[in-house]
Structure 1
Amino acid sequence: LLYIASDAELKSWGVRFIQPDRPGFGLSSPADSMEYRDYYRDIEQLLDHLKIERTGVLGWSAGTPWALALGATLGTRVTRVGIVGALMTPDDERLRGQTPLSSLLFIWTAKHWPSATGRLIEGLAAEWKKDPERFFRSQNLRNSKVDVDVAFRPEVARGLKLSNAETLRYGFEPLVRGELRRIGAPWGIDWKAIRAPVRFWHGLKDAATPPLGSRILAERINGAEVIEPPEEGHMLIVPRAREIVSWVAFGPVNPAR
């Protein structure tokens, strides 16, 4: 969350924020065969090492299944689960026609034609390496205006560009064999095992992931809430950082409307 809240802001909120890289991203080595339900072993070791008994969990976009899986597997060590701009695979008929075609293409080819997906990602990686600034603009200008306005804030843009670099640290193959394969396959999450309070935030102007996905996921989890700001999009985690992080860390807060 380097571009969402500074260390000074988090400290002023009374929050200790720990952000592990998921497998194949940043400094976390690829683990192509790992499933979402297996991730708790890594996080359990991390919590033990840091002497943290209980924690809230926050997932944004592609972090959705990882965070929900931790809620299902870490038991009482998870106090709350917050999800922002939920990623949802189109395995529910209600989502057909709402998921961006580019996302469907990557998910389908990763499952049925992984070599083609590899070539697609390799092409994107080459485009990024050739001109990172142009790549950033082309990837973000396709979003809703409210998200463009947030993404092009200098501090946010710097963070997003760093994220692009971290995504490609291990090349494109781990993205195909691991990340996209997992997203497109059944997630294997025991929804009934999630006992901690769960809250979804999804802006109704989100052009990256359909808000209906958050509603469908919330239906599967007992007592889950959905907050849908009408004038915000996929980047709502930036203007609502304090609200979201505070709820995950400390419990019920009144959402800003």
Structure 2
Amino acid sequence: MNNINQHFVLNDGRQLGYATYGSKNDFPIIYCHGSQSSRIEMHYDMSFAIENGLRIITVDRPGHGLSDFNPKGSILGFADDIKQLTEHLKIDKFSVAGMSAGSPFALAIAHQFPEQVQKTAIISGFAPFNSESKKLLTMEVKLMLNLAKYFPWLLKMMLSIQDKQLKKKPKKALQGFLKIMSSPDQEILKNDLVMNIIIRMFNEAFRQGSKGVAYEISNLLVKDWKFKLSDIQVPVKFWQGKKDNNVPFEWAELMTKEIKNADIKLFQEEGHLIIFQHAKEIFTELKPNITKQ
């Protein structure tokens, strides 16, 4: 039922890599992974997808995993890639989910294709990086994103070093990334099945080196996304832990106010990795209502 090494060729000749979980005949959900990640990013136990009639499709963004780098890549451009993928897979109606830095890409798909996208889930989601949202960040995350925006060459160098470390000592390479996570997340990280996924998804992100990861952070995430949240017509639900050190919970609140048809589920005692606690609830809610079928 699961096939994690698939790809097809886009109209411009680039290869797009993706993985599928669940049955081909079930309701499709496009999943947008986080930063420094890949199509491998998904729950370690996918039985919930089979049991609830879900077909989850996780897609490598350009320069990550099996997807070719796109020197002209943009957030809206990735939405166009997804449109081509759904046409290739003969999918008409689908929902979309975005985890962390995958949120702008998921929201862009919802923005561009309101006739096809049924619902959207944003999990621990990245918000537009501006003077208002920046104030809410922890010092460590703010420093990294400011580096990305104002000193992209330095971020590129740091990611290149991380890439080399990942290939030699993956757990050690991830220590700096993981240590800023909150105590609820630290408990989740004690699960070897979770850590195995995190190590694999990071390694796969850097399969082609660090260029794609660096480009996405510096050229897309911290820049203008080129679309307005207020123009999104598709229902959006934000899933957020209040004790998230990576993404402040107030970011979900800011975006909920911007989007007309949006609401938020706030977990008071949880952090960034809520997907490992609430995958079944999050993904099953993305199925269309009976009246829309």
TM-score, shorter chain, exceeding 0.5? yes
* Structure number having the greater strand percentage: 2
Structure 1: how far apart are the matches of 2:159 and 2:167?
12
What SS class does the counterpart of residue 79 from structure 1 fall into? strand
State the match for 2:106 in structure 1.
67
Unaligned runs of 5+ in 1: 253-257
TM-score by structure 2 length? 0.79
What SS class does the counterpart of residue 283 from structure 2 fall into? helix
C-alpha distance 47-185 of structure 1, shift in aligned 2 (>3 A): same
Structure 2: how far apart are the matches of 1:136 and 1:249?
34
State the match for 1:9 in structure 2.
48
Task: Within 5 Å, give how 1:36-55 maps onto structure 2.
Answer: 36-55=75-94
The number of residues matched between the two structures is 251
Structure 1: how far apart are the matches of 2:53 and 2:47?
10
Q: Deviations over 1:196-219 (max 9, x none)?
A: 110001100101111111111111
* Counterpart selection for 1:227 from 241, 252, 265: 265
Structure 2: how far apart are the matches of 1:162 and 1:249?
28
What SS class does the counterpart of residue 249 from structure 1 fall into? coil
Q: Is the 8 A contact 2:126 2:247 kept in 1?
A: yes
Q: Deviations over 1:127-185 (max 9, x none)?
A: 33331122234432331111111123121111100111022122122222333320110
* Structure number having the greater helix percentage: 1
C-alpha distance 197-100 of structure 1, shift in aligned 2 (>3 A): same
Identity %: 25
Structure 1: how far apart are the matches of 2:149 and 2:176?
26
Pick which of 79-88 and 120-129 moved more: 120-129
Q: Deviations over 1:10-54 (max 9, x none)?
A: 111111111111122111111132211222221111111111110
Deviation, 1:5, is: 5.0
State the match for 1:255 in structure 2.
none
Structure 2: how far apart are the matches of 1:128 and 1:76?
41
C-alpha distance 138-176 of structure 1, shift in aligned 2 (>3 A): closer
State the match for 2:7 in structure 1.
none
RMSD: 2.0
TM-score by structure 1 length? 0.90
Deviation, 1:250, is: 3.6
- Tell me which of the two structures has the higher relative contact order, counting C-alpha pairs closer than 8 angstroms and 6 or more residues apart: 1
Structure 1: how far apart are the matches of 2:83 and 2:42?
26
Structure 1: how far apart are the matches of 2:93 and 2:44?
22
